[in-house]
Amino acid sequence: MSRTDQEDAAVQAQRTLAVERIEDERAKAIVNADLSALERLTAPDYVHVETSGRVRTRSEFLAAIDPAAGRYERYENFDSHIQLYGDAAIVSGWFENAYRRADGTRSAKRARHVRVYVLTDGRWLNVVHQATECPAGG
């Protein structure tokens, strides 16, 4: 492996690690209803496709995380795979969450997801999230 190849591999490893950290930060921000962190991690033109197929803007996504609407009691990512393409990263895997609505009713979900991040001005921004609900064990 040439020096240039080694340097490229090191950059790829650093970028992969950065995206892994952002994925962890995103999950924690959802559980903690940290709207400022989520706003910082998502692009202004963010597109969020729910498991139902409904499309939400960044503002609508943040409103759904606001504690006035309800609270995520748990949000965990599993089996994440990160693929880098220049200044873009595609993260695929699955997640489970538990949600308690403001009225006290609860729901739980398991879904596969794809998220796209773009490196912009030195930081990774989530530009797209798409999820498909899966049955338990699916």
In a domain, 57, yes or no: yes
Tell me what pLDDT residue 66 has: 92
* Residue 75 in domain: yes
Q: What is the pTM of this model?
A: 0.90
For tokens 């990774």, name the residue.
124
Q: Is the pLDDT of residue 44 over 60?
A: yes
Q: What is the DSSP secondary structure assignment for residue 111, as one 8-state letter?
A: E
> If you count them, how many residues does the chain have?
138
138 in a domain, yes or no?
Answer: no
Average pLDDT over residues 44-59: 97
| Residue 9, pLDDT score | 87
Torsion (CA) 74, 119, 91, 33 in degrees, nearest 10: 10
pLDDT in tens, 10-29: 999 999 999 999 999 999 99
More confident residue, 104 or 138: 104
Number of structural domains the chain divides into: 1
Domain that holds residue 88: 3-133
Over 90: is that where the pLDDT of 5 sits? no
Residue with tokens 């006290």: 104
Residue 61, in any domain of the structure: yes
Token pair of 72, please?
């995520």
In this prediction, residues 101-115 reach a mean pLDDT of: 95
In single-letter form, the type of residue at position 76 comes to E
Q: What is the CATH number of the domain that holds 40?
A: 3.10.450.50
Q: Tell me the per-residue pLDDT of 56-105, one tens digit each, with 9 for 90 and over.
A: 999 999 999 999 989 999 999 999 999 999 999 999 999 999 999 999 99
- Tokens at residue 54, please? 């409904």
Task: For residue 73, count other CB atoms closer than 10 A to its CB.
Answer: 12
Q: CA torsion sign, 32 to 52 to 62 to 90?
A: positive
